[in-house]
Chain A
């Protein structure tokens, strides 16, 4: 049990002033603007938005600055801020097939309709430090090539689905309620809607480690990246007063379609199975990890033996949230004097009893 303490106001106040000073750093170095963070540390902003579960590039950039670059602290700030805003409504489901694609790759088909575009990627870089960035040199001019403005990029999974070789996604039932773990506490077993919501805001490191564990044999799912796509999708929200859905603008998302092996059953011909990942901004590692864990959590659906951590829904969903996790781990730093005094009294009494028992025996 945690018993509150009083006092320490001046020390706390001064500590926060010191924090603000240290956050500013050497005054000889120009102060970082939130616009610079938004434009130049874009992947940090994307991660804070995804795990903070709030798409707002300006707020995420401010959170990164305020948190001195501590991602989980920044995510915490964004989660706290969202509780101050009313919810106007829910969007129509994002149509990722209509995406303005900036990157689209497949590890399963080299010649897929619409082609593969690498976009802005770290892939195939040599991971050598670029000292040109230290000296502030201008980047080379961007290359361009003719593009067909009306070209479509069908999802790879739709191509395999044409031959009925991959499972179909359960069709959307507009009347079915969609679970929301920001409104109702998570209960088990959770539906796939709640699992995907939980994974989408889950900690990238935690999901990456779990995804890696499935590859190493802890719940093998034999995955292929069917497709990863990055780009802009339109957001539409139904407005009651108008009676129709209104476009609000575009957001950037990353989607991963993982294709996994499945042997089939007595009644079903063999088909590939699927795992799905989706996140805000450019978050490929996160989307891939999410897709692998989503698939691993579907073990029961495919009569797979659940024996690995990544297949254990309660374990995964209860520990994926880094704000909850850091809250519980870091609360150990707060004064626990009363607790600890009780433990001290108890251990002293145990010692006394042990000594008395020993003396009585002698």
Chain B
């Protein structure tokens, strides 16, 4: 299928998909039920669990190598209006993956996008930002300053 090639739009959709992938089941289910109870999305493929091979880089910035796999669940849905949504989440979470796919499909409809942003994406982003802030302040409390001691015989 041909997707819009607008790089800004793709980047915005990628950001949204990143938030859908990190959402809890309730963070997707509740707003979808409240605002789009009759979205009518149908599965284009059965929701399926599989693997993604995770790659690292030699030395952190060099050539790629295969580090090991992770489990991932994917869902592909289509709205009656034709928008196709993809849901990919780490782990084995079929319900979350399907809800993420529905949310992605709705996000592509310009009519729904503003509400998807306000009702689904913003609360997820707020929670993630708070969690990140908490981790950062906890970590910051373990910041360490080591002092190099001058040995006695060298001091004189």
B53, B68, B148: residue with the most chain A Cβ atoms closer than 10 Å: B68
Residue from A146, A170, A241, A257 in contact with B60 in the complex, judged by beta carbons closer than 8 Å: A257
B156 CB within 8 Å of chain A: no
Using Cβ atoms and an 8 Å threshold, which residues of chain B touch A56? 70-71, 91-92
Closest Cβ–Cβ distance, residue A271 to chain B (whole Å): 13
Could you mark each residue 33-56 of chain B with 1 if its beta carbon is under 8 Å from any beta carbon of chain A, else 0?
000000000000000111111111
B59 CB within 8 Å of chain A: yes
Contact B139 A249 (CB under 8 A): no
Secondary structure at the A interface, as helix, strand, loop or mixed, is mixed
Using Cβ atoms and an 8 Å threshold, which residues of chain B touch A323? none
For the complex, give the distance between the alpha carbons of A146 and B139 in Å. 10
B127 CB within 8 Å of chain A: no
Using Cβ atoms and an 8 Å threshold, which residues of chain B touch A101? 139
A137 CB within 8 Å of chain B: no
Contact B133 A149 (CB under 8 A): yes
B138 CB within 8 Å of chain A: yes
Using Cβ atoms and an 8 Å threshold, which residues of chain B touch A274? 59
Contact A110 B146 (CB under 8 A): yes
Closest Cβ–Cβ distance, residue B54 to chain A (whole Å): 5
Contact A117 B56 (CB under 8 A): no
Contact B140 A117 (CB under 8 A): yes
Interface residues in A102-146 (C-beta closer than 8 Å to B): 102-103, 105, 110, 115-119, 142-146
Residue from A55, A196, A248 in contact with B69 in the complex, judged by beta carbons closer than 8 Å: A55
A342 CB within 8 Å of chain B: no
Contact B18 A117 (CB under 8 A): no
Interface residues in B11-66 (C-beta closer than 8 Å to A): 14, 17-18, 21-22, 48-66
Q: Give the segment of A24-32, A172-180, A346-354 that binds chain B.
A: A172-180
Additional 6 contacts, C-beta under 8 A, given A59-B71, A86-B50 = A54-B68, A82-B51, A88-B72, A145-B141, A248-B90, A257-B59
Contact residues of B with A, CB < 8 Å? 1, 3, 10, 14, 17-18, 21-22, 48-72, 74, 76, 86, 88-92, 132-148
Which 5 pairs from chain A and chain B are nearest by CB? A169-B62, A247-B18, A169-B59, A55-B70, A147-B140
> Mind listing 6 A-B residue pairs with CB under 8 Å?
A55-B69, A86-B48, A94-B56, A96-B57, A115-B143, A178-B65
Contact residues of A with B, CB < 8 Å? 49-50, 53-59, 82, 85-94, 96-97, 100-103, 105, 110, 115-119, 142-147, 149, 155, 157-158, 168-173, 176, 178-182, 192-194, 196-197, 200-201, 234-235, 237, 239, 241-251, 255, 257, 274, 276, 278-280
